[in-house]
Amino acid sequence: MLGNKKVMGDNILYYMNLHGIDRRDFAKAIGVPYSSLTDWINGNTYPRIDRIQMMADYFHIEKSDLVEARNLSKKTQARRIPVLGRVAAGVPLEMVEEVIDWEEVSEAVAASGAIFALQIHGSSMEPRILDGDVVIIHQQDDAESGDVVIASVNGDDATCKRLRKYKEGIELIPLNPSFAPMFFSNQDIAEKPVRILGKVIELRGKF
């Protein structure tokens, strides 16, 4: 497949920055050598169509958003969404539903369902998600084992953790090994209650 290598490189870099992911993490996520990704970003080589699809799937966009210049692609028109309240990434804190900032998401992401953003406070999701980072959430009441989710505990507390499902319950797992996982039995889930509020689909790293 032929294409404009510079446009491709600029678009890859744009979406990496949008998601707050660095080159090494992104290369690992899509299963390509770091050197290959660097060549694509620098416009030295052009990725195969299957690699373009893999990147598009990762970013939740269309292949055209990577292939075409952004000002020519309707899919890359941004939509502003509010950053609501604060979510703990350590000890759960009460979620305050107030607009503290604004973020932009692509039309493709906005069209995928109810989308909201929350700011992370705490260190339990380090080193991947840092204190002050913003996560973009797809609102849903369930998720797959291994997904990073926002969960409500006791009805009014929200926490960002990796979800692990078991027959007898669920576990909310921090990425930081200094923090202990939180296990909830099926009875806990019903009685506390414990609810999945949404799945993290993007990370906006703050520097």
Residues with catalytic roles: 124, 161
Residue 127: CA count within 13 A, CB half-sphere: 3
- Which two three-digit tokens encode residue 183? 């296990």
Query: Quick check: 120 and 114 in contact, CB under 8 A?
Result: no
Helical spans, DSSP H, in 96-166: 107-110
Helix (H) or strand (E) holding 185: strand 182-185
Find tokens 């990796």 and name the residue. Answer: 162
Beta carbons within 8 Å of 176's beta carbon, 6+ residues apart: 123, 124, 125, 126, 127
Closest CA to 86 of 103, 100, 105: 100
